[in-house]
Each structure stands twice: as C-alpha cells, then as structure tokens.
Amino acid sequence: MRELGRLIHHARRVTSLKTLEDCVNPKKYMETVKAVKYTCGYDSETDKFMIPSLANKLGNSLVKVSKLLKARGLINNDKQLMKNSSEFQEVHANKWNEMISATALRNIREAKWNVPTLMPFTEDMQKMHTFLSQVQDEWFNLLSESPSTKAWMELAKVCLAQMILFNRRREGEVASMPLSAFLSRDTSDPHEDVDWALSEVEKKLCRHFTRVITRGKRGRPVPILLTPKMLCSLELLVKQREACGVLKDNAYMSEGQTASVASQRLVVQSVPKH
C-alpha cells in the first residue's frame, strides 16, 4: 500500500491520473507507465532506474488492484469496470515487460556485478563459535541444575544463533521452527537402499547429524541440521518448558521473533574488537 501511495502522489504531479482506478484504466496505460518511471527515478539518458526493485513491485501491485476492481465489478454487475480491468490486465501482460520490467531487471543484475564479496576472517569465525559454545555450556549447566525462565531463554537464544550460523538459513525459518517439527524428527538410520551407495564418511555424517524439517518461504520444506551438542540442548529446552513457565500454547521451539532479535545481539557480542 505504501508503494501505491507513492505512485498516486507522483502520478498526480506528472499525469492526469488521480486515483488507483485511473492507474488501471487501459486507455491511460502510458500515463501509468510515465508515473511508474517518475516514481522509480528513471533516467532516459542512461536507461536506468534509481529504484529498479520498486518498479517490479508496482507492476505486481497494479495487477492486484485490477483484479480487486474486477471482483467489485462482478459483485455490483458493473460491466464497464469489469471491461476496463480485464483490458488493463491484457495490455499490462503485453507491454509491461517492454516498457518497465526488462530494464528494471537488467538494472538489478548489473548492480550486483561490482559489489565486492565480504568474507569473514577465519580467526574471527573461530572466536565467534568458541564464544557461542562457551555461552551454551554455561546456560546448559544452569538450566540442568537450577531451572529458571532466564536460563531457558538464554539457552534458547544461543541455540537459535548456532542453528542459524551452522545452517546458513534465514533467521525467520529457524526462529519459527514448530515444537511439533522437532518432536517428530526422523531418528532412523538411512534406508539400506540408500546406505549401500554412501561412502564411509557419508554414512558417519548421516548418523552424526540430526535433521529437522520446518516450513520455509512459500511453504517450502527447509531442512535444519543439528549437531549432537545442539540436539542435547534442544532436548533439555523441551524437557524444562513447563518448569520454566513456557506457555503451553506456545507452539514454537523458542519465543519466535523475540528470540530471533536476541540471538542477533548475542552474535554481535561475540564479534572480536579490533
């Protein structure tokens, strides 16, 4: 909605368009294109958008608006509105790539060409993992000996940070791991039909790590690998949930986004000071 608000604001400045309904009028399509280019900072001399990603977002948003208007037309039996919406979608499907998205996508690709890849120093990574391991041991022992809400939360934070770093996953995918996914994890050995094709090293790795499948972006399955030490800590967290006051209706392994933000702070604390 915010992007569409910007579009309307700029459209009123450089075109005759006044409303979102005007923007999805097929007869005014070229004015809509002009408004999008102005909103995204298009430079005709260099053939570049200042904000190419916004151009693609606006294209998708305009299609959604036209579909909503078509639905309104069907409900109200407004044939003119239905006709305009359908014709806009047809024009958009044929002209948008040529007028906007081809250039925007090219700009996005070119912007990545000269971006240097920043690699962390090996020494820094070792210090970070050592720090997290020490913190994990400390809170694991405290939670085992004297269960408390603080000990539970601190161990959950460090486990979350370790899982994100080890699996190189988006924090949201790990932070939103359901308790049910962990409890229903596959603990069986590889099937014999698979096992025979694996090398000895691969067999040991399969038996060393535990795999948990959680829900990722767009509903895709995301595998999360756990080391034996991570698994031990997570099992303790599950065991002590009730004793530490974790709500029964909390369906997640950790406290969701709260733990996610806290784990980021924990990683920052481990960064060596130069």
* Residue 2 clears pLDDT 90, i.e. is over it: no
Q: What is the mean pLDDT of the chain?
A: 86
* Residue 272 clears pLDDT 70, i.e. is over it: no
* Residue 249 clears pLDDT 70, i.e. is over it: yes
In this prediction, what percent of the chain has a pLDDT beyond 90? 53
Q: What per-residue confidence (pLDDT) applies to 222? A: 85
Reported as a pLDDT band with limits 50, 70 and 90, residue 40 is: very high
Q: What per-residue confidence (pLDDT) applies to 198? A: 74
Instruction: With beta carbons less than 8 A apart as the criterion, state whether 269 and 157 touch.
Output: no
Q: What per-residue confidence (pLDDT) applies to 185? A: 86
Rounded (5°) CA angle 97-98-99: 95
- Provide the 3-class DSSP secondary structure of residue 195: helix
Predicted TM-score of the model (pTM): 0.53
* Residue 85 clears pLDDT 60, i.e. is over it: yes
Chain segment 14-29, per-residue pLDDT in tens? 999 999 999 999 999 9
CA separation for the pair 123, 145 (Å, rounded): 33
Closest CA to 155 of 214, 236, 247, 212: 236
Domains of the chain: residue spans and CATH: 2-113 (no CATH), 123-270 (1.10.443)
